[in-house]
């Protein structure tokens, strides 16, 4: 019997559909994200009823397994690389990963090498810096790693792995216009130090994106300026790129070798441990740095301890009224896991730099409830 090409394609698609359907009792077209966002819970509903105000973007990835194979199903809500949101501290994630890569390329360095930035007095190690980035989102730790790498190297390394669009243009905690990195003074042994070479980086160009200017006014040096606040020269790290970094770290075997991060098994184990560690387990005061301090999904609106069987490998960001979380969430007791990246803007008065943002009232409760809804639906899917 002769089968034409179109018939063969249809049959092939049907076989794949049947195979993937057998991975789960949930239909493939069941949009868990859509169901979560249709919740009547007021923490979600008040945001969904005023979407234009909150600039929400979400990507959720369902994970299906069959024998030794893993299959992803991505579900998006308003994800748009051309619509800008300020990524804040989420940029620290790829910077931390690329710093581990750099250690592989430098014979004189390892994770425990002690160093300081020329002109500074703080001594640190790369282990300490990366741990602080994930445990409490430390800005100074991130900026030291920027001095190690340089903005151009960060951007080009990510793009070479197929992670784009992205533009890391400045340090965090302050918007430094300095394009030259500072040298690192490195302790080679107890009595000898070495010095790294600074790099001169490309000046950032003005971003041309939707909603790159936001609000109706802002404060600068104590003066109120009645114009939209411009993010044209700031960092750019959209949902798709954040999710791409996360997938490569959690599931490296799903990517070709040239798209993976060049990490040893020991480095990856350390990175994963740093991503999920809670502040109290990293030595921080649990009253000031409670478990959910840098974990918005599921637990963000509570200061209670996170159960030990829930592991959240993530990086959050919050600044200029924007809250973002990029997470791999795993329940070791119930055998479920999923990827979730989401951002929301909470700036009701439209004024930036006035510290009047609705983080606690609206933003974090929304992200926490979103995580809980998806987690609940994942539990139902598992059953």
Task: Please answer whether residues 343 and 299 qualify as being in contact, where contact means their C-beta atoms are separated by less than 8 angstroms.
Answer: no
Tokens of 92: 């620290």
Task: Please answer whether residues 26 and 63 qualify as being in contact, where contact means their C-beta atoms are separated by less than 8 angstroms.
Answer: no
Instruction: Read off the pLDDT band of 4 (50, 70, 90).
Output: low
Q: What is the DSSP string of 258-272?
A: GGS----HHHHHHHH
Query: Given a cut of 50, is residue 19 above it in pLDDT?
Result: no
- With a CB cutoff of 8 Å and minimum separation 6, the contacts of 31 are 75
CA–centroid distance for 191 within its chain: 39
Interatomic CA distance for residues 317 and 296, integer angstroms? 10
Tokens of 78: 């308003």
Interatomic CA distance for residues 155 and 103, integer angstroms? 17
Q: What is the pLDDT of residue 178?
A: 87
Is 147 strand, coil or helix?
A: helix
Query: Given a cut of 60, is residue 29 above it in pLDDT?
Result: no
**Closest CA relative to residue 154, chosen from 205, 97, 111, 192:** 97
Query: Given a cut of 90, is residue 1 above it in pLDDT?
Result: no
| Side-chain half-sphere exposure of 117, counting CA atoms within 13 A | 18
**pLDDT tens, position by position, 51-105:** 999 999 999 999 999 988 999 999 999 999 999 999 999 999 999 999 999 999 9
- With a CB cutoff of 8 Å and minimum separation 6, the contacts of 79 are 57, 58, 59, 238, 239, 240
Interatomic CA distance for residues 108 and 120, integer angstroms? 21
Domain ranges of the chain: 18-382
Least confident segment among 26-40, 218-232, 324-338: 26-40
Average pLDDT, the chain: 92
Fold assignment, 18-382: Beta-lactamase (3.40.710)
Distance set, CA 40 to CA 32, 78, 79, 362 (Å): 15, 20, 22, 15
- Mark 241-267 as b/e (b = at least 16 C-beta within 10 Å): bbbbbbbbbbbeeeeeeeeebbbeeeb
Q: What is the pLDDT of residue 306?
A: 98
| CA triple 82-88-90, angle to 5 deg | 90
Task: Please answer whether residues 184 and 195 qualify as being in contact, where contact means their C-beta atoms are separated by less than 8 angstroms.
Answer: yes
Q: What are phi and psi of 215, to 5 degrees?
A: 75, -165
| Helices and strands in the chain: count of H runs, count of E runs | 11, 14
Task: Please answer whether residues 247 and 382 qualify as being in contact, where contact means their C-beta atoms are separated by less than 8 angstroms.
Answer: no
């Amino acid at each position: 019997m002769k089968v034409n090409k179109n018939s063969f394609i249809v049959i092939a698609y049907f076989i794949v559909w049947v195979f993937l359907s057998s991975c789960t009792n949930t239909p493939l077209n069941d949009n868990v994200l859509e169901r979560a966002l249709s919740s009547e819970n007021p923490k979600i509903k008040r945001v969904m009823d005023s979407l234009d105000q909150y600039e929400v973007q979400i990507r959720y990835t369902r994970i299906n397994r069959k024998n030794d194979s893993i299959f992803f199903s991505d579900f998006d809500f308003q994800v748009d690389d051309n619509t800008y949101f300020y990524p804040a501290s989420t940029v620290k994630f790829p910077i931390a990963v690329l710093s581990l890569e750099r250690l592989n390329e430098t014979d004189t360095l390892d994770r425990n090498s002690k160093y300081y930035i020329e002109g500074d007095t703080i001594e640190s190690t790369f282990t300490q810096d990366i741990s602080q980035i994930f445990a409490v989102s430390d800005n100074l730790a991130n900026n030291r790693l920027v001095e190690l790498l340089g903005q151009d190297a960060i951007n080009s390394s990510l793009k070479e792995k197929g992670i784009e669009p992205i533009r890391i243009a400045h340090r965090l905690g302050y918007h430094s216009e300095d394009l030259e990195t500072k040298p690192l003074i490195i302790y080679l042994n107890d009595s000898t130090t070495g010095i790294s070479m600074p790099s001169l980086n490309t000046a950032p160009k003005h971003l041309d994106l939707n909603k790159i200017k936001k609000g109706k006014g802002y404060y600068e040096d104590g003066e109120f300026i009645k114009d939209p606040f411009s993010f044209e020269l700031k960092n750019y790290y959209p949902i798709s790129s954040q999710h791409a970094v996360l997938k490569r770290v959690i599931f490296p075997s799903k990517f070709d070798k040239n798209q993976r991060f060049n990490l040893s098994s020991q480095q990856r184990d350390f990175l994963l441990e740093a991503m999920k560690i809670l502040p109290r387990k990293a030595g921080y005061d649990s009253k000031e740095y409670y478990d959910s301090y840098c974990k918005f999904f599921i637990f963000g609106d509570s200061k209670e301890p996170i159960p030990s069987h829930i592991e959240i490998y993530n990086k959050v960001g919050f600044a200029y009224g924007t809250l973002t979380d990029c997470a791999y969430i795993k329940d070791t007791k119930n055998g479920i896991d999923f990827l979730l990246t989401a951002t929301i803007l909470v700036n009701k008065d439209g004024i930036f730099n006035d510290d009047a943002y609705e983080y606690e009232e609206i933003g974090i409760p929304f992200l926490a409830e979103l995580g809980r809804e998806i987690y609940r639906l994942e539990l139902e899917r598992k059953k």
